[in-house]
Amino acid sequence: MKGCGMAGKGLMKRHTASAMPEDALLGAWKKSAHKLWVKRLRRTSSLAELLQVLGDFVGAINEDRLYECNIEQGKHAPKQ
- Res 73: pLDDT: 76
CA distance 18 to 38: 30
Domain that holds residue 46: 9-76
- Buried b / exposed e along 28-67 (16+ C-beta atoms within 10 A): ebeeebeeebeebeeeeeeeeeeeebeebbeebeebbeee
Q: Per the domain annotation, does 26 fall within a domain?
A: yes
> Is residue 63, in this structure, part of any structural domain at all?
yes
Q: Is 14 contained in some domain?
A: yes
Residue range 4-51, pLDDT digits in tens: 444 455 545 555 455 667 777 778 878 888 899 999 999 999 999 999
Q: What confidence category does residue 1 fall into, taking pLDDT thresholds of 50, 70 and 90?
A: very low
Query: In the chain, how many domains are there?
Result: 1
